[in-house]
Homo-oligomer: A and B are copies of this chain.
Amino acid sequence: MRVEILAVGTELLLGQIADTNGRWLGEHLAAAGVDSYFHQAVGDNRARITTALRTALARGDAVIACGGLGPTQDDITREAIAEVMNVPLVRDAEISRRIEGFFHARGRAMPPSNLRQADVPQGATVIDQTRGTAPGLICPLGRKVVYAVPGVPHEMAEMFERAVLPDLRRRMSEAGEGTGVIVSRVLRTWGTSESALSEALQGRIDALDAPSRGDGRAGTVTMAFLASGIEGIKVRLTARARDEDDARAVLEAEERKVREVLAATLGDVVFGLDDVSMERAVAALLVEQRLTLGVAESLTGGLIAARLVGVPGASAWLRGGVVAYDSAVKFSVLGVPEGPVVTEDAAVAMARGARRVLGAAIGLGVTGVAGPDPQEDIAPGTVFVALALPDGAPPSRSLRLPGDRERVRQYSAISALDLLRRTLRTPDHGFEAPTLG
């Protein structure tokens, strides 16, 4: 099964937005073991969408068309697909009712053009819309198929997982294809560099590349590194095997080896697996240890609190935060002694202030200079992070972070959370100095 991705939208051709859907779909098709050899992007033009669909169908078995399903005159993917299928569009009563209901539930009048979204090429199957107003479509063309999904990324992703991928799998299985599976797992690291990871794991990479490795029948594993900017560096392990059980078994065996090597060489750099973000890792430790947290932020300006609030169930352990952007707020609200505020002492005082004012077991304080200009004669990228723990002496550390204002702020936020994570993972909550990535 060769699947081509077709992104629809003039804004993509003009470079006004990035084609994040193509990238996401490419990643997810690969993870599912589905071949995708070509991507296309085309503007909101019926003749050209038709051309692109025909091109994709001529060189592949399936097309996933993203975008152009909305209510406006620009949205003509439905019409183009109907033309390629050589069938009329038929207005679907059930979809019409849902769209009307969507507006009714929000107490808004529905502009009539919205009902264009209920037009379905004759013979197509509808993928119900659960998030927006535009449904998706599964459009058969002989043994081939065109899937149409909305261009809004979270709607696209949800429909892909719920309807497109299962349909693709069914077709592949009917075609007696690709009985093997590909499973991958991502180890997420913070506090090291891609080259340090690569050197530490060179032995494992060589072992995986060796032609006569162990029980070859069980499955093979490959390793790749993916620098993910403010989210650290990911180590992706991909296993290919006959079935899911075999794939998971070889994956787990390799994961154990990689974790052992990293712990022995680089320390506690792996903070999470797959979609476990730094804040989720911190949350799990706080829940496990029944501790509550309060945050005092200066240059990060709420980024740390906002990440923590994003974890469902945060109310069990997050008391709140103080964004002390103006120095006066540091003095008056947090009780930081008047004087310089870009110092390690100020970070410690902020952490203690957060713990006291917010009534938390642990206080986390961050101060520093985001830039572009220096502050108190201190260079942009200089950041101080401190913890105030229940049992006294607070760990704190200073950082020199690279990048512009936005990156310094983002790096500060994840570095502060990583300090908390590493501290919570040491049995006596003593401080362990991490290496910065």
Contacts and interface: CB of A to CB of B under 8 A. Distances in A.
Contacts of A59: 51
A359 interface: yes
A144 interface: no
Contacts of A326: 315, 318-320, 358-359
A318 B325 CA distance: 7
A403 interface: yes
Contacts of A194: 70-72
Given A16-B224, A226-B11, A306-B300, A358 B372 contact: no
Interface string A27-60: 1101000001111111111001001100100010
Interface string A249-284: 000000000000000000000000000000000000
Given A198-B73, A323-B323, A14 B26 contact: yes
A93 interface: no
B322 A323 contact: yes
Contact of A325 (B43, B108, B228, B319): B319
A236 interface: yes
Interface in A320-358: 320-326, 328-329, 332-333, 357-358
Interface in A184-230: 184, 186, 193-196, 198-199, 205, 224-229
Contacts of A181: none
A320 B322 contact: yes
Interface in A77-123: 106-108, 110-111, 113-114
Contacts of A318: 301, 325-326
Given A15-B25, A45-B37, A199-B111, A312 B72 contact: no
Contact of A15 (B27, B227, B305): B27
Contact of A323 (B20, B302, B436): B302
A10 interface: yes
Question: How often does this chain occur in the complex, in copies?
Answer: 2
A333 B304 CA distance: 19
Contact of A106 (B44, B315, B402): B402
A295 interface: yes
A299 interface: yes
A165 interface: no
What is the interface residue range for chain A against chain B?
35 or more
B27 A23 contact: no
A297 interface: yes
Contacts of A12: 23, 26, 39
Nearest to A199: B111
A238 B306 CA distance: 36
A16 B236 contact: yes
Contacts of A364: none
Given A73-B205, A321-B323, 17 more contacts: A12-B23, A13-B26, A13-B36, A13-B37, A18-B19, A39-B41, A40-B40, A73-B198, A108-B193, A111-B198, A154-B407, A301-B306, A302-B305, A302-B323, A318-B326, A319-B329, A320-B322
16 contacts: A14-B26, A15-B22, A16-B184, A18-B18, A18-B19, A38-B52, A72-B195, A72-B225, A111-B196, A301-B310, A305-B325, A309-B325, A320-B322, A320-B329, A332-B359, A333-B333
Interface of A: 10-20, 22-28, 30, 36-45, 48, 51-52, 55, 59, 70-74, 106-108, 110-111, 113-114, 131, 152-154, 184, 186, 193-196, 198-199, 205, 224-229, 236, 238, 295, 297, 299-306, 308-310, 312, 314-315, 318-326, 328-329, 332-333, 357-359, 370, 372, 400, 402-403, 405-407, 409, 435-436
Q: Which 7 A-B pairs have the closest CB atoms?
A: A301-B309, A302-B302, A15-B27, A302-B305, A15-B26, A321-B323, A302-B306
